[in-house]
A and B are shown apart, each in its own frame.
Chain A
Amino acid sequence: IKQNRQTKTRGNFPNSCFYFVGVLFVQGAMTPGMSIFSPMMPYGSGLTPQPVQNTNSLAILEEQQRQQQQQQAQQANAGLPGTSGQTPQLYHSQAVAGSTTTALPGNTPLYGTPLTPMTPVTPATPASESSGIVPQLQNIVSTVNLGCKLDLKTIALRARNAEYNPKRFAAVIMRIREPRTTALIFSSGKMVCTGAKSEEQSRLAARKYARVVQKLGFPAKFLDFKIQNMVGSCDVKFPIRLEGLVLTHQQFSSYEPELFPGLIYRMIKPRIVLLIFVSGKVVLTGAKVRAEIYEAFENIYPILKGFRKTT
């Protein structure tokens, strides 16, 4: 088993960059839901958020939420099982002047002008309008309770595939070949399983780790298995003007090229974080079920298409 696997650094970005992104996600999970409405206060009081340039979009946001609430109420009345409201927070961007690579004569705005107005898109995009691209699942994180206290020193001594440095981290790091995954096993009996490419693979892997622990002499059970996070990725295959996207979707986006090359888009519905890169590659994370990944991508795709250049 390779000790001290190091995360690959890409290009010039140090490991701290990825830690930075990881911290964002963790915070996203722990802080209360971000308010999507900037209170309309007069500019200049010092405590105001940036006045929304486009009041239309705010009105539309409020309208959208109202529609959403109505729909949810209707669904509840219809006696449907507790499905999360399917209405996406979605705005179909129209083509923006100046966002193409063909520079217009005269003063070329460096970034696209903000779009006015923004039209909401109806939920449940019909198949003919769907992107035709399916995000690939890249990583599943799950947890399970083995239901008994564990002696990590014994596990590290007797298992071939275990790593244990109590001074560095208070858990045994165990790896199996098939499904290719890594587990963190804690003395409390709780375990985290990472690296699987599907929910079923994650469950199978977790069961194998539990079996190893059993064979080492512990009365391990398999309680409360739960998928905690799913990561997917895909490629829209066209370049994206991140500067334009952050301008028009400021409430959801964070783009700081000094810190990280991608734009961080925090979608409200479903509650997914997307990393959008200039290359057109998109990473989606924060899902508990794979449908959320697919839904988030179908929501973002029309927005990204709006920033696609047309030759």
Chain B
Amino acid sequence: MYEPDNRVNSEIEKLTQIYYREAYQHESFIRVSLRKKEHLVGCCLLLSCRLLNWPISMATISSLLDADPMVMGMLYIEMVKILNIEAPIVNITDVMEAHSHDYQISSLHAPEELSESHKDLTKRAVELVELSADTWIVTGRRPIPIMMAAIYLSWQSLKPNKHRLKLSLEKFCQLAKVNKHKPAIKRITEMKEMLCKLGQEIPWVREAVTPDNVVKHVEDILKHRHALLRRALRAQEDALLAERQASCEDLPIKEDADNHQLHGETLKSQDPEPNWGKRVLFAPPCVVQAKKSRVEQPELTDVTGDEEISDSEIDAYIRTPQEVREFALSQKMLE
């Protein structure tokens, strides 16, 4: 495990022991299984690291203990509640440095053409993750696939030659000797889409910026990201304004209809409201690619709860004697 500063670690160790002693003796944990108590150590370690601003992910601790991250996570939440402690969440950019050290991609481990210094790689990946966070790619998502996607794209963009651009994520992970995380592929796609939107605003780029060629522009995009973001947002605003003016001239009634849809119950008989995520430049991907919501059953309105219940309705739920015999027979045969 990457541990550059032993001094900090001894402080964390002390705090971990204190919390563990407290948690272990608590009535909620004193009688739990040995395995769970091992998980508890991990939880106390995580808590101490967070309180002392030592960036570490739950996944790292879980893997060290060979534990299911979900199980450990649930225990952590329970423990924090029982001990009544508020621990800050981990900032993904802080974990990035430790995470990038897992990738054996330096000149010691990889051929020269494919190698990259950790310093450069981490710096670029952090910028990419910050930009992704601003554009709604990070919130609500698991951090590790995001970091993997950022490192992969950063690595490609630091030397966007044929070799690197052709190397798939899978091969890159094999090269760097890390386990591939499947969601990272989706994150790469999302990041590339976002980068394209910004890349298009670069004044000196004449060609269309597409996911296939955006990697070579990543350096410029990151360097001028604030300005490009402003330009892209302004362009989007102008486009929306123009659209609104055009629609205002055509349909004066439409705006009222929109207002009514926002108030009170949604009118299911009408067409579904246009997805607000498609009307802004950047939106959380779960909004932009909204899954089709389940068709609502026709609502039972004005039910008092005291209605008469007809015999026939109830009889429909009861087997006939014949059915009972057949069912009993089939049960016997299955035994």
A interface residues, Cβ below 8 angstroms from B: 10, 12, 14, 16-17, 20, 23-24, 27, 31, 34-35, 38, 46-47, 49-50, 52, 101-105, 108, 110-111, 132-134, 136, 157-161, 176, 178-180, 197-204, 207-208, 211-212, 215-216, 237-243, 246-247, 250-251, 254-259, 261-262, 277-280, 311
Contact = CB atoms under 8 A, between A and B. Distances in A.
A261 B140 contact: yes
B270 to A, nearest CB: 16
Nearest to B237: A311
Interface in B49-99: 51, 57-59, 69-70, 73-74, 76-78, 80-89, 91-93
Contacts of B87: 50
A155 to B, nearest CB: 10
B73 A259 contact: yes
Nearest to B303: A200
Interface stretch (B31-39, B152-160, B282-290): B282-290
B318 interface: yes
A133 B262 CA distance: 7
30 contacts: A12-B182, A27-B81, A34-B81, A46-B14, A46-B19, A49-B85, A50-B51, A101-B135, A101-B229, A103-B130, A103-B134, A108-B134, A158-B318, A160-B316, A178-B300, A200-B303, A200-B304, A204-B307, A212-B314, A239-B284, A239-B287, A246-B89, A258-B57, A258-B58, A258-B143, A259-B69, A259-B77, A277-B140, A278-B140, A279-B277
Interface of B: 14-15, 18-19, 22, 51, 57-59, 69-70, 73-74, 76-78, 80-89, 91-93, 130-131, 133-136, 139-144, 182-183, 225-226, 229-230, 233, 236-237, 262-265, 276-277, 280, 282-284, 286-287, 291, 297, 299-300, 303-307, 309, 313-319, 323-324, 327-328
Nearest to B57: A258
Given A103-B226, A311-B237, A279 B286 contact: yes
A255 B303 CA distance: 38
A215 B314 contact: yes
A101 B303 contact: no
B78 A101 contact: no
Contacts of A237: 262, 276
A268 B318 CA distance: 46
Nearest to A98: B134
Given A102-B134, A110-B91, 15 more contacts: A12-B183, A34-B81, A47-B18, A103-B131, A197-B299, A208-B313, A216-B318, A239-B139, A247-B89, A255-B89, A256-B73, A256-B89, A257-B142, A279-B277, A279-B287
The 9 residue pairs across chains A and B that have the minimum distance between CB atoms: A203-B305, A200-B305, A261-B140, A46-B18, A259-B73, A278-B140, A50-B86, A278-B139, A200-B303
B18 A160 contact: no
A52 B305 CA distance: 49
A101 B136 CA distance: 8
A27 B82 CA distance: 10
A136 B265 contact: yes
Nearest to A35: B84
B323 to A, nearest CB: 7
Given A16-B70, A208-B309, A159 B319 contact: yes
Contacts of B297: 180
Given A101-B134, A243-B89, A278 B286 contact: yes
A182 B219 CA distance: 57
B85 A257 contact: no
Nearest to B133: A110
Contacts of A110: 91-93, 130, 133
A50 B139 contact: no
A279 B317 contact: no
B324 A158 contact: yes
Contact of B85 (A50, A212, A247, A258): A50
A21 to B, nearest CB: 10
B327 A157 contact: yes
Contacts of A241: 139
B295 to A, nearest CB: 13
B64 to A, nearest CB: 15
Nearest to A23: B74
Given A50-B88, A204-B303, A208-B309, A258 B276 contact: no
Q: Which of B22, B135, B237, B286 has the most CB of A within 10 A?
A: B286
Contacts of A176: 317
Given A38-B86, A208-B309, A258-B59, A102 B230 contact: yes
B247 to A, nearest CB: 19
Contacts of B143: 257-258
Contacts of B264: 134
A105 B314 CA distance: 69
Q: Which of A132, A178, A259 has the most CB of B within 10 A?
A: A259
